[in-house]
Structure 1
Amino acid sequence: MTKKAMHASQNLGQKKANEVQTKKASQKSDFTAKLLEKILKRITPSEEEKKKELAVVKGIIKRISSIKGKHIKAMLCGSLARDTHLRGEQDFDIFVLFDKELPRGEFEQLGLKIGIEALKGYEHWLEYSEHPYVKGIVDGYEVEIVPCYKVSKACLLKSSVDRSPFHARFIQKNIRPEQKKEVRLLKAFMKGIGCYGADIASEGFSGYLAELLILKYGTFLDCVKAASQWTPGLKIALNEAHLKKCKATSTLVFPDPTDPKRNVASAVSLEQFSRFVFACKKFLERPSEKFFLGAKQKIPTQISLLLKERHVIAVCLRFERDEAKDTVLGQMKRLKNLISQELEKNEFKVFASSIANTDKDVYCFLELERNSLGKLAKVIGPPVFDEKNVKAFLKKHKRVVSGPRIENDRIVVVEKRKKLYAREFVNDLILFLSKQGKEPIKSMLKKAVILEKRGLVKRCKKPEFAHELARFLIGRERFL
């Protein structure tokens, strides 16, 4: 074969390969488009549903308007106000605006009074964030009535919730009708992979941040493509000039367009950022429903099978209605870290740890390499040349099984352990924190229950607990 013929043959082969690649890309694009349409049908509320939701909101706002007081007006905020909410999201945020000159004490008192009166006749209770507010159930919907100050600019706010009306107005003004479905897809994606929510427990992406990401990138797919290339420390903005005003340094920085000094993404942890980026990569490789709905994990009916030859400890606490769940979950996360550190310090290797909660309970799960230690421990002391610390070491370690002796340049002894079981270390830490810790978890720890194998299996009679424990034991990302 001549060189010319070989060259022509190679070109023909390359052309065919390119055609096959183009065809595959086109098929994948068609499949993705059909998948997203299918997901949208599932997650978008119907016009009838929206009408019913807005009717409930209008009824509550009408009640608030009829109450005599110093409030200026009530307005709907949150995703329902922006028409970016998902089907089945049955929670409404109604904000009651007060004059910014109203003293804080009176502001809180009047805010609660209005909330209680507006929800009179319905089940309602107090919740606590930066300040107390009223939450209730109206016709099956969860309604929050939150007092806030009416300020002229977001940068002049007097409480953190004062910025919510600014967020609502900004998105309503700037989002295009066709982008609302893109926001819904992004929110469903974030929920499906488990990184949605900016509360202390979730440490993920807020609904407002999801909306801003669509304003930034235009569509869900373009956002996913961009995010698949993100790295920690990324700084992005709707207006590049905002980056100069926002001095924040965190895993992800996105200045709030209503107050550029504030980072909307400050809650996003490295873990949740990494989860989102990795899920975006995987979605582009192989699009699937499981990214939006979470993979259907088979929960074994016999939890004892999952626990066999594994060492798991659970610390169980009970919520009280007047406690701020967000605060408790944040404290529980810190408790989880403290327990892990205490166990690692005492030679227990922690494989995994997690917190989970139901309506009434919050749990801290830990899996260990082993749950008990040998009866003897080797204790390595200071170098023999450190006279002061050697004396202190020998004074402290008098009752030894073996030693003291010198190994290399250090004093070494072998002695009996005072505690052998992981449960003992966890119990002692909880006992200490129930006396020295911070409320509200301090009081909750006094009634803490520590469970191991038999106790875990017995508690699994409660379906919600069994589900959370099984998810922890399976330990697989929802989208993999």
Structure 2
Amino acid sequence: MQLKKILKEKIEEIKPNEREVKQLKKDVKVFIERLNQELAKTKHGGDVFVGGSFAKNTLIKDGKYDVDVFVRFPWEYDDISPLLEKVLQKLAKKLGLKMEKLHGSRDYFRIYFSDNAYFEIIPVTKIRKPSEERNVTDLSYFHVSYVKKKIKGLENQVLLAKSFCQAQKVYGAETYVRGFSGYSLELMVLHYGSFLKMLRELVKAEKGTRIILDPGKHYRRKDDVLFELNEAKLQSPVILVDPTNKDRNALASLSRETFEKFQEAARKFLKSPDKVYFSEDDIDLDKLKDLAEKKKAEFIHVNIRTDRQAGDIAGTKLKKFHYYVESEIKKYFELLKHEFVYSGKQEADFYMIVKSKKEIIQLGPPMYTKRLRKHIQAFKEAHRGRTFVKDNMIYARIPVDFSGKEFIEKINRDKDKLNEMGITEMKVG
């Protein structure tokens, strides 16, 4: 299928229809009016603005839409989440709507407004310029304003970029994803002019190198960015200087692993265009099991649960534990393939194909050192018949006489470690 035809058809599939948009606009208008009425009754007041994909006309078709609503509080108010909570509790009660409190860098709230829409209401501080931010969410007003001014005519290109990244599981700045935020994709589409140009340019980056983008032209030379931004903001493979704030890298959370995953998918798509690259597939367990059999390796499925808040907090805990298990198992096994799937709730699954190293070499204390004689003797006794000396160091050959599942079950029995890492339940299959 021709590339242009694929993209055109995909846009039609992912773009909300006029009826959905019209109803959503109506719901938003009603909610904002009622919210403004409640805020007007308070001493602190607050300015309301709509953000996110809905405000920028880059919303992807979904069964249930979430709309970001921001309430800007005057500068003199510091602890603003409780102020917003009181207002929303009254509003939710009057409208007979369900409300949830969510934890983040600032507590924010979710109100389920209709069968196909819910609002996430975020408290922010009203600031005059980005450099005055108290919290990263305070910058949202400037981000929305910038994109709305520039986006006209490129909305569909942003839809393609978001859909592609969602399907490849590289969408979202959350810690458990460390991928592309919606705002960063909007900026890159604006910078490159199209979804395809964005892909073609990003795949050019060689492994280990960095791309520097400065769409707002804050710096005379790209190298100046490396000197002006602080080191913590320069760790990502793509440095995207926020056009609304020259001291911010809009892709600071992007990991090398996620970027390389994106590049691999982009190269394949550009070489053999297909709509399948815009569809999020479930893990093919049969395919993984077949691969394990072909490699004469072991297939392992692990399900883990946490009691932490669903979303970024739970996802981060689960992903961190997954990395811990992988790092431990790699001491004794070759990790041939691994997949991590987070449900968005309080549990995750990860799948591994591992192959035993059969034997590992463990380093002991240096030989011929008088003060270490006891340690050397203890090492020899612990590994009787399996030690050898090389370059004045003693080593032991340790047989790997257990399976991958047995090793992970051993981790599962360490309840103190599981509790420390926020894991409430672990099943190995």
Flag whether TM exceeds 0.5 (same fold).
yes
Task: Name the aligned partner's letter for residue 235 of structure 1.
Answer: I
Number of residue equivalences:
406
Report % sequence identity.
22
Preserved CA contact (<8 Å) 1:355 1:362: no
2:178 corresponds in structure 1 to: 203
Alignment pair present for 1:216 and 2:191: yes
Residue 188 of structure 1, aligned match among 136, 150, 163: 163
Alignment pair present for 1:327 and 2:327: no
Alignment pair present for 1:288 and 2:264: no
Q: Which moved more, 1:58-67 or 1:391-400?
A: 391-400
Q: Any unmatched runs of 5+ in structure 1? A: 1-27, 453-480
Q: Secondary structure at the match of 1:260?
A: coil
Preserved CA contact (<8 Å) 1:74 1:97: yes
Q: Secondary structure at the match of 2:102?
A: strand
Task: Name the aligned partner's letter for residue 105 of structure 2.
Answer: E
Q: How has the CA–CA distance of structure 1 residues 282 and 413 changed in structure 2, closer, same or farther, with 3 Å as cutoff?
A: closer
Residue 81 of structure 1, aligned match among 52, 55, 65: 55
Alignment pair present for 1:312 and 2:300: yes
1:303-338 CA-to-partner distances (Å, cap 9, x unmatched) read 988887634141410445xx2520222222222222
Task: Name the aligned partner's letter for residue 290 of structure 1.
Answer: V
Which residues of 2 match residues 69-468 of structure 1 at below 5 A?
69=42, 70-88=44-62, 90-104=65-79, 107-120=80-93, 121-140=96-115, 141-176=117-152, 178-231=153-206, 232-242=209-219, 244=224, 247=229, 248-249=233-234, 250-294=236-280, 310-319=298-307, 323=309, 325-345=311-331, 347-367=332-352, 369=354, 380-395=363-378, 398=381, 401-402=384-385, 406=389, 409-411=392-394, 421-434=406-419, 437=420, 442=422, 445=423, 447-452=424-429
Shift of 1:418: 12
Shift of 1:222: 2.1
Whole-angstrom distance in 2 between the partners of 1:392 and 1:422: 27
Whole-angstrom distance in 2 between the partners of 1:305 and 1:160: 46
Whole-angstrom distance in 2 between the partners of 1:395 and 1:412: 13
Q: TM-score, normalised by structure 1?
A: 0.75
Shift of 1:172: 1.0
Shift of 1:110: 0.6
Shift of 1:119: 3.0
Q: How has the CA–CA distance of structure 1 residues 342 and 277 changed in structure 2, closer, same or farther, with 3 Å as cutoff?
A: closer
Shift of 1:278: 2.8
Q: Which moved more, 1:422-431 or 1:268-277?
A: 422-431
Whole-angstrom distance in 2 between the partners of 1:399 and 1:187: 56
Q: Secondary structure at the match of 2:302?
A: strand
Preserved CA contact (<8 Å) 2:175 2:312: yes
1:258-294 CA-to-partner distances (Å, cap 9, x unmatched) read 1111000112111221222233322222221112224
Whole-angstrom distance in 1 between the partners of 2:97 and 2:139: 28
RMSD: 3.1
Preserved CA contact (<8 Å) 2:74 2:125: yes
Shift of 1:152: 0.6
Whole-angstrom distance in 1 between the partners of 2:3 and 2:355: 46
Whole-angstrom distance in 2 between the partners of 1:80 and 1:139: 16
Q: How has the CA–CA distance of structure 1 residues 87 and 379 changed in structure 2, closer, same or farther, with 3 Å as cutoff?
A: closer
Whole-angstrom distance in 2 between the partners of 1:193 and 1:416: 39
Preserved CA contact (<8 Å) 1:127 1:133: yes
Q: How has the CA–CA distance of structure 1 residues 222 and 366 changed in structure 2, closer, same or farther, with 3 Å as cutoff?
A: closer
Q: How has the CA–CA distance of structure 1 residues 401 and 230 changed in structure 2, closer, same or farther, with 3 Å as cutoff?
A: closer
Task: Name the aligned partner's letter for residue 174 of structure 1.
Answer: K
2:17 corresponds in structure 1 to: 46
| Max Rg structure | 1
Q: Secondary structure at the match of 1:203?
A: coil
Preserved CA contact (<8 Å) 1:318 1:360: no
Q: Secondary structure at the match of 1:165?
A: helix
1:374-410 CA-to-partner distances (Å, cap 9, x unmatched) read 9xx8755334223333432324554554377656744
Q: Any unmatched runs of 5+ in structure 2? A: none
Q: Which moved more, 1:92-101 or 1:269-278?
A: 269-278
Shift of 1:234: 0.7
Whole-angstrom distance in 1 between the partners of 2:203 and 2:29: 41
Q: Secondary structure at the match of 1:389?
A: helix
Whole-angstrom distance in 2 between the partners of 1:358 and 1:380: 41
Task: Name the aligned partner's letter for residue 210 of structure 2.
Answer: G
Whole-angstrom distance in 1 between the partners of 2:12 and 2:381: 73
Q: Secondary structure at the match of 2:144?
A: helix
Preserved CA contact (<8 Å) 1:85 1:184: yes
Q: How has the CA–CA distance of structure 1 residues 399 and 235 changed in structure 2, closer, same or farther, with 3 Å as cutoff?
A: closer
Whole-angstrom distance in 1 between the partners of 2:426 and 2:70: 39
Task: Name the aligned partner's letter for residue 154 of structure 2.
Answer: Q
Shift of 1:133: 1.2
Task: Name the aligned partner's letter for residue 124 of structure 2.
Answer: C
Whole-angstrom distance in 2 between the partners of 1:163 and 1:218: 24
Preserved CA contact (<8 Å) 1:95 1:146: yes
Shift of 1:118: 3.2
Preserved CA contact (<8 Å) 2:337 2:353: yes
Preserved CA contact (<8 Å) 2:336 2:355: no
Q: How has the CA–CA distance of structure 1 residues 405 and 77 changed in structure 2, closer, same or farther, with 3 Å as cutoff?
A: closer
Preserved CA contact (<8 Å) 1:127 1:324: no
Q: TM-score, normalised by structure 2?
A: 0.84
Whole-angstrom distance in 2 between the partners of 1:237 and 1:149: 27
Shift of 1:225: 2.4
Q: Secondary structure at the match of 2:5?
A: helix
Q: How has the CA–CA distance of structure 1 residues 146 and 386 changed in structure 2, closer, same or farther, with 3 Å as cutoff?
A: same
Task: Name the aligned partner's letter for residue 342 of structure 2.
Answer: N
